[in-house]
Structures are given as structure tokens and as C-alpha cells.
Amino acid sequence: RLVRTCLNLGSYNYLGFADDWDATCKSSVLSVLSHQNLPSSVSSPRAECGTTTLHAALEAVVASFLRKDDAVVLNMGFNTNATVLPALATRGDLIVSDELNHTSIVNGARASGAAIRTFAHNDAADLEGILREAIVWGRPRTRRPWSRILVVVEGIYSMEGEHCDLRNIVDVCKKYGAYVYLDEAHSIGAMGDTGRGCCEYSGVDPREVDVLMGTFTKSFGGMGGYVAGDRAVIGFLRRECAGTLYHNSLSPVVCQQILRSFEVIMGRDGTDTGQRKLTALRDNSNYFRMRLTDMGLHVLGHYDSPIMPVMLYNPTKIAAFSRECLKRGLAVVVVGFPAVPILMSRARFCISAGHTREDLDRALVELEEIADLLKLRYARSTFG
């Protein structure tokens, strides 16, 4: 069996906890098993016997970090959206969703029974038009007003590398009395001066966003998701959300991993490691994006985003790009239909604080060669 060591440019290891785990997290995480006498799994949903002191501590830290009243944690990021949205919205409600929202949001919205409309990606003006029309016309046939309107957006769009125009979207929602649901799966821990996500980056007070959702799989080296909001909303979700009623509880070991990551990010470990990670992630991301752009590649997204989609366009280049990268020791993610439109194929790079400048420079040398081989310089020529 052939085993090849590759430079990882594809996984969501934004703050590098998967690289320096032995130094930053190991002793704290393993103490759960050796000193706190907690099991690796509680084998029960949160609503039954699945809540430990670590779950309560983690929810308190999440709420404090996000400056919300309360929070609830679930054992899977995808299922956080897929089970929370059906609890928050139902028949007689309207969900207005960004057209490029993640599949977990799409699935949750469809399962809710609410009516669904989409607005043009990251376009506050189009959102305003849809909200105005929804309020004027009300529900189909009866014309009764909607019970509630929930606008769902993401902090960073995972296939576009763009951050949300949150300030303008929140202003529109406040103007028309719509609730805001913000998915921060890719932005929490990766955006903002202290890692508090899209709200901090955009200058939006977290109290202006009704529901803050995020995951622990990207920046925290763990798994699972959270929802933070008003105490009444979180209490309702604990009673009604399928993710807390029926899904197995988050492992206490994973809870401790996430708690330790928060300690590092917030500087409560007595070091500046967290701030150095945040700075390294931003610097690495902007450096890599700048070099890819200078190379003549068509790079989507915004600066300060750790996600860099590079357009391949031609579907036949998907496998070719992946193979050429693997040959040169680069592990990358390539994306094609149906995840994106058939002629919008792309490669997606995810940059980490764990990457050194030497790692990135080595990758860029190889990508320069691949760009020539596969004719990918679409920013310079239609023919690449």
C-alpha cells in the first residue's frame, strides 16, 4: 500500500489546533478521562441523561464569548441547522434564505414546513424587495400576514470565500421586523480581531442578530455545533429541537477540547498563543490569496477569508487538477456539479494558522506549474 505525505490545503483547521494539539490541548483534554472520571460518550440525548458539567460549562462559555444570554450545543454541525430551523419555523412562517446558503440550511428550511424564498447572493437591496413584497402580499391565497419572517445568512460562504454583508442585511431586517439567523460555521474563530466572527468583523452588535449558529469543527479542533440567543429562544430549543431531544449528546472529551480551544483563543491560558493564531491565520490567508491572484488565477471571495475558491470552470479539469496536485504532494479539495453549477467547477483552498510561509511558498511554486499545464490563468485570458 502506497502512503504519501501531502501538504494539507483542504481541511478546516483554521487555527491550527490539529497541528499543535500535543502542546496546546493534550493534557487538558485527556484529564477528562484520567482525572474527571467522565466517559468518552454519555450514550444518551441531552434531554435525558446526556448533560454533564462540561456541557453546561461549554454552553456558558459560548454564550459569554458571543455576548448572548444563553447557548445550547449539539453533536453535529450539519444537524444543528437541519434540526434547529424546523424548531424555529413552521407552517405560516416565511424563511428568506440567501441563494448560496449551505445544504444544511436548505434541508432544515425544507423540513420546517415554512414557505421559502431566496434572495440574490449577499444582496441587501434584493432582500429588501422580497421582504417588502412578502409583507404587502402576505401568505398565498389567504393574504393573511406571515406569523414570522426569518432571514438566514452565513458569515463566510464556504463555496465562495465571501463574508456576509451583515451590517446592511441586519439594517434591512430591522426595518421590516424580520428575525436574523446567522450561520457562523466558517467565520467563528476565523474572523474578527478576537475571533468572535462576522459580527465583530462587520461591526454588528451580537444583540442585533436574533440567532447565532456555528460549529466547532473548523476553528476549535472539535466537532458539533451551537446555537446562541435570548434565554427564551434557547430554552425553547432545549425542549423542542430534535437535535437535543433525540441525538446522542456531544462527547465529554470533545467538550473539553472545545473548552480548551476557547481558553487559548481568549487568552485565559496565560499566553498570547490564541492571538498569534488569529494573526497568523489572517496573514497566511491574505498572502496566499494575493499570490494566487498575482498568478492570474480567477480567485473568488474576499480578503481576510481563509477560504479561497480557484475557478477551474471546465468539468474535465476537476480530476486533472486533483491528480496533478496529489502528484506534487498537495492535498486539495475540488468541487463540481451538483455542489456547484456544472460550468462553475472549482478548487477550494482552506488556509490555516498552522501553515508556515515556507509551506505556502512551496505550494505556490507547484500551483504555478499546474496553472500552466492545465491553462487556468483565466484572469489573464479567456482560454486560461
Per the DSSP assignment, residues forming a β-bridge with 162 are: 157
Say which residues have a Cβ less than 8 Å from residue 79's Cβ, sequence separation at least 6: 104, 225, 243, 247
**What pLDDT, on the 0 to 100 scale, is given for residue 383?**
85
Computed over its alpha carbons, how large is the radius of gyration of the chain?
21
Q: How far apart are CA 357 and CA 362, in angstroms?
A: 9
Please state, for a pLDDT cut of 70, what percent of the chain lies above it. 100
Q: Which three cell numbers stand for residue 315?
A: 468539468
Mean pLDDT score across all residues of the chain: 95
Per-residue pLDDT at 2 exceeds 80: no
201-210 pLDDT, tens digit per residue, is: 999 999 999 9
Cis peptide before 338 (omega within 30 of 0): yes
What's the maximum distance between 2 C-alpha atoms anywhere in the chain?
Answer: 65
Per-residue pLDDT at 1 exceeds 90: no
- Nearest residue to 158 (alpha-carbon basis) of 29, 348, 378: 348
pLDDT, average across residues 170-192? 97
16-53 pLDDT, tens digit per residue, is: 999 999 999 999 999 888 878 788 889 999 989 999 99
Q: How far apart are CA 280 and CA 189, in angstroms?
A: 12
Q: How far apart are CA 282 and CA 201, in angstroms?
A: 12
291 by Cβ neighbours in 10 Å (0-12 / 13-18 / 19+) ranks as middle
Per-residue pLDDT at 69 exceeds 90: yes
Per-residue pLDDT at 329 exceeds 90: yes
- Nearest residue to 74 (alpha-carbon basis) of 62, 89, 88: 62
276-305 pLDDT, tens digit per residue, is: 999 999 999 999 999 999 999 999 999 999
